[in-house]
A and B are shown apart, each in its own frame.
Chain A
Amino acid sequence: MSFLQLQGIEKTFGDVRTIKGIDLGIERGEFVVFVGPSGCGKSTLLRLIAGLETIDRGKLVLDGRDITRLPSSKRDLAMVFQSYALYPHMSVADNMSFALRLAGASKSVIDEKVQRAAQILNLLPYLDRTPRELSGGQRQRVAIGRAIVRSPKIFLFDEPLSNLDAALRGQTRVEIAKLHRDLGATTIYVTHDQVEAMTLADRVVVLRDGQIEQVGTPLELYDRPANQFVAQFIGTPRMNVVAADAVPQFEAVLGMKVPAGGFVGLRPESIALTAPAQGQVQGHVDLIEALGAETLIHVSTDRGAQFVSRQNERTVLSAGDSVGLRFDPAQAHLFDAQGRVARNAAAHAH
């Protein structure tokens, strides 16, 4: 049995079923990321686990103990909030030691743990400051420190990087990954950013409309999405998905049968651009995004289907140029009319 077991978890706010029966097992030491578009219920699910919302139906079992109806204060979980939620009237040290002081730990134990956490997070010079005297990144580290000090059973992160600027976000992401590697603590992390999900997670849980769309390792989701939603949610730029009849003789071009009313999905790296005559399909360039290391080229075919192609070289093309498109049939994903996967791309050589 898993370390944390979610069994048929449901939550309704008013008339809206926000969480529609979630079954999931999380193993000890695992880093699990809940990802999905806004409103998919990922934060609500985290708050249900935290005990900040009550579970309407289902069961939550942590380490063999049923915690479904237990108040937050008794669950032995620590949470890092998006807004940091530091206690503004306490020093950094007091913020970090608050839980231990409530639990009645001795002063020597508290001091030792706070010192250790502060050292790990480079907060030693700031222990006597109040949160308002810290920068956003430092506040974030205090919030993480507050969680570490407690050695909880599970760390819960609710979009912890959303309030940081892009540079700091990347840096803190790496720090969180290192921290997890060093501490080995079970972690549940909520984000709407699929790059965070891909880089941090052992396993990613993709949510939509209060339901799980797919659970898997980051590369499983990338290579073998269960449906069109996951296929397009994971990966930037997103997978090109076009109706089978949007391209003339698409089946012939790909050499495979597409389900009736179905869709073809091709990652941007699976589409090569050639001279018009050499292409399987002809089109013209709409827009070029030169990012330095890679170049994204937006192309429309003569029949109006739109594709993004990614290449690692710089391009001599410019907007308006005619080009040919060549698809890599081995890398094509096929979806039926309901968006379920009918065929995934051939496994990549790892």
Chain B
Amino acid sequence: MTRTDILPLAVRTVSAWTATLLIVFPLLWLVLTAFKTELQAIQVPPQLFFTPTLENFGEVQQRSDYLLFAKNSLITSLGSTILGLLIAAPAAYSMAFFRTRRTRDVLMWMLSTKMMPAVGALVPIYVLAQTSGMLDTLTGLTIVFTMSNLPIMVWMLYSSFKDIPPEILEASRMDGATIWGEFRHVILPLGMGGLASTSLLCLVLSWNEAFWSLNLSSAKAGTLAALIASYSSPEGLFWAKLSAASLMAIAPIVVFGWFSQKQLVQGLTFGAVK
């Protein structure tokens, strides 16, 4: 008996939909609320059918300059992705093709830094940012995002490079390629899938990053995460506006993720499935 025979199709369909709805429900609720007035938003029992309004979106832009935060998010995400690739690609290259006895340990150590709660490093990083004048700057945020993403980037690129047979690189060296030529003509085209999915994931992670942007930025360099947070205080909770702001913050990355999901999933399997 194959696995698909265990439950009838109807049961499987219903359970899949139930699970999906449960997971997506908060998001659906947020979308609905974003199109309500503040009064409708706090009504009990909540209304499922109402006349949608766009006024919340206009107010969010007016009150807190959505576009500035969106621009900051874009700059820090793209910046940290590019900076991260510049560091992670050579690191992964050397670990994949010039293995030593310690390569495995170094990789594990890098990953282990992700196990530490970020708050443990908050004070030192805050002080560093403050004394170097990086507090509330896009440069400072970009650097911190890069560092927090680097372990994952190195790991992903390492596993994607490892799939390239080393003899192909040796052949290119015999053919007269320098390290740069090797990278451009062999690694780049053959590792394109890995590089793309790594970049996508890094973009998503940086865009969604909240901890560091809340703690290291305020008015000037704040990202969309900081924008959303600003709506929970100090005048009390404005559910409709908060929802509108959240929707505006997540919409770009959700759309982006939708289009790149194939690459993302491929990258996240860490080279386990070919």
Indicate if the CB atoms of B165 and A72 lie closer than 8 Å. no
Provided the pairs A102-B176, A102-B181, A146-B175 are in contact, do residues A72 and B167 lie with their beta carbons within 8 angstroms? Answer: no
Any chain B CB within 8 A of the CB of A83? yes
Chain A residues with CB under 8 A of B175: 73, 78, 98-99, 102, 146, 150
Indicate if the CB atoms of B170 and A81 lie closer than 8 Å. yes
Indicate if the CB atoms of A85 and B171 lie closer than 8 Å. yes
Which of A50, A86, A89 interacts with B174 by CB under 8 Å? A50
Any chain B CB within 8 A of the CB of A88? yes
Most buried by A among B171, B173, B181: B171
Rounded to whole angstroms, the CA-CA distance of A146 and B167 in the bound complex is: 14
Which of B172, B174, B176 interacts with A87 by CB under 8 Å? B172
Chain A residues with CB under 8 A of B186: 87
Any chain B CB within 8 A of the CB of A103? yes
Return the chain B residue nearest A143 by Cβ: B171
Chain B residues with CB under 8 A of A85: 165, 167-168, 170-171
Chain B residues with CB under 8 A of A81: 167, 170-171
Any chain A CB within 8 A of the CB of B178? yes
Chain B residues with CB under 8 A of A103: 176
Chain A residues with CB under 8 A of B172: 87, 98
Rounded to whole angstroms, the CA-CA distance of A83 and B190 in the bound complex is: 17
Chain B residues with CB under 8 A of A74: 176
Any chain A CB within 8 A of the CB of B114? no
Rounded to whole angstroms, the CA-CA distance of A110 and B189 in the bound complex is: 22
Indicate if the CB atoms of A72 and B174 lie closer than 8 Å. yes
Any chain B CB within 8 A of the CB of A71? yes
Interface residues of B in 157-187 (CB under 8 A from A): 165, 167-168, 170-178, 181, 185-186
Rounded to whole angstroms, the CA-CA distance of A38 and B62 in the bound complex is: 76
Indicate if the CB atoms of B171 and A73 lie closer than 8 Å. no
Interface residues of A in 92-131 (CB under 8 A from B): 98-99, 102-103
Rounded to whole angstroms, the CA-CA distance of A50 and B181 in the bound complex is: 18
Most buried by B among A73, A77, A82: A73
Return the chain A residue nearest B189 by Cβ: A89
Return the chain A residue nearest B186 by Cβ: A87
Which of B168, B177, B190 interacts with A73 by CB under 8 Å? B177
Chain A residues with CB under 8 A of B190: 88-89
Any chain B CB within 8 A of the CB of A256? no
Chain B interfacial positions (CB closer than 8 Å to A) = 165, 167-168, 170-178, 181, 185-186, 189-190
10 tightest A-B CB contacts, nearest first? A85-B167, A99-B175, A85-B171, A72-B173, A73-B176, A79-B174, A89-B189, A102-B176, A81-B167, A85-B168
Chain A interfacial positions (CB closer than 8 Å to B) = 50-52, 71-74, 77-79, 81-83, 85-89, 98-99, 102-103, 146, 150
A72-B170, A73-B181, A85-B170 are known contacts; what are 5 more A-B pairs with Cβ within 8 Å? A50-B170, A52-B174, A79-B174, A85-B168, A89-B189
